[in-house]
């Protein structure tokens, strides 16, 4: 059994054992809190959504609630394809997904140290140039144009890109480029990623993974940045 499969089995056991406690009046009941309800998430994403050492499970904590909500919808509805997530969320209603998103958005555990740089200096410099300046000749906007100067994201639905492993970042950019990850139209990340080469993706991922978190690593306020592209996910927000 692979590591990620084992983690999924553990998560399922945690999820169903909580239900078992709640159903048996003889046993002590588990507290009915969001922290208890999201224990199934902790095996892969950390107890507070802080991430783990596994390259492919991202940090969730502190990201805008709207972004997290959109991703939960995407996994449930099949726009993002990863069977464990698709199965876990298959029958959860929108309102409950919003509660999960709100919970992790409100968590702010410390960031880990940046990942060691594993690419050569030229590749890292390319990543820095694309992140900070983009490439106008290919109509590639700078990452900072949407994700903010310190890479902390923007409310309500643009994620921060700090505290993520290079392999995860590279995999997600590749998924956008090849269409295995998508969002509601207009899919701005599909447009951007389609213009990137393999080397571009490696470079961007390596540079982002090398960045330390700022002193106050929270998303900037909604409307702080004039986005260079229309993004459907930014307007796909839940109504209270």
- pTM for this prediction: 0.85
Is-contact 58 153, C-beta < 8 A?
Answer: no
Sign of the C-alpha dihedral computed for residues 203, 152, 231 and 135 taken in this order? negative
Note the helical H segments in the chain.
3-23, 34-37, 39-45, 65-77, 83-89, 94-105, 121-133, 144-147, 166-178, 188-193, 198-209, 232-235
Sign of the C-alpha dihedral computed for residues 145, 67, 119 and 109 taken in this order? positive
- Tokens coding 147: 């994700």
Could you report the per-residue pLDDT of 179-229, keeping only the tens digit for each? 999 988 999 999 999 999 999 999 999 999 999 999 999 999 999 999 999
d(CA 97, CA 214): 29
d(CA 161, CA 152): 6
Residue 176 above 80 pLDDT? yes
Half-sphere exposure of 165 (CA within 13 A, CB side): 13
> To the nearest whole percent, how much of the chain has pLDDT over 90?
79
Give Rg (Cα) of the chain. 18
Per the annotation, where are the binding residues? 41, 44-45, 85, 143, 146-147, 189
Per the annotation, where are the binding residues for heme c? 41, 44-45, 85, 143, 146-147, 189
d(CA 150, CA 71): 22
Domain 3-105 -> CATH class: mainly alpha
**What are the residue boundaries of the structural domains of the chain, listed by start?**
3-105, 121-234
CATH fold group of domain 121-234: Cytochrome Bc1 Complex; Chain D, domain 2 (1.10.760)
Could you report the per-residue pLDDT of 20-62, keeping only the tens digit for each? 444 455 567 767 899 999 999 998 999 999 999 999 999 999 9
Local confidence band at 233 (pLDDT 50, 70, 90 cut-offs): confident
Buried/exposed 149-167: b ≥16 CB within 10 Å, e otherwise: ebbbbbbbbbbbbbbbbbe
**Is-same-fold flag (3-105; 121-234)?**
yes
Compute, in degrees rounded to 10, the torsion defined by CA atoms 102, 105, 109, 115. Answer: 140
Residue 11 above 90 pLDDT? no
Could you report the per-residue pLDDT of 25-36, keeping only the tens digit for each? 556 776 789 999
Count CB-CB contacts under 10 A for residue 29. 12
Tell me the sheet residues that pair with 154. 158, 220
- Tokens coding 170: 């590279």
């Amino acid at each position: 059994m692979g590591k990620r499969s084992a983690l999924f089995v553990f998560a399922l056991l945690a999820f169903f054992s909580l239900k078992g406690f709640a159903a048996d009046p003889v046993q002590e009941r588990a507290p009915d809190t969001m922290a208890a309800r999201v224990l199934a998430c902790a095996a892969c994403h950390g107890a507070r959504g802080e991430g783990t050492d596994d390259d492919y499970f991202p940090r969730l904590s502190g990201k805008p609630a709207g972004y997290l909500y959109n991703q939960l919808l995407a996994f449930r509805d099949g726009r993002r394809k990863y069977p464990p997530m698709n199965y876990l969320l298959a029958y959860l209603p929108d309102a409950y997904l919003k509660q999960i998103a709100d919970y992790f958005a409100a968590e702010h555990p410390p960031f880990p140290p940046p990942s060691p740089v594993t690419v050569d200096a030229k590749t890292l410099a390319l990543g820095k140039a694309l992140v900070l300046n983009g490439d106008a000749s290919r109509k590639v906007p700078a990452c900072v144009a949407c994700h903010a100067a310190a890479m902390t994201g923007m409310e309500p639905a643009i994620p921060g890109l700090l505290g993520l492993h290079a392999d995860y970042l590279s995999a997600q950019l590749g998924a956008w480029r090849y269409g295995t990850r998508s969002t509601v139209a207009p899919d701005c990340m599909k447009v951007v990623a389609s213009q990137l080469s393999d080397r571009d993706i490696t470079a961007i991922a390596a540079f982002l993974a090398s960045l330390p978190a700022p002193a106050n690593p929270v998303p900037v306020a909604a409307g702080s940045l004039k986005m260079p592209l229309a993004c459907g996910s930014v307007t796909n927000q839940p109504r209270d």
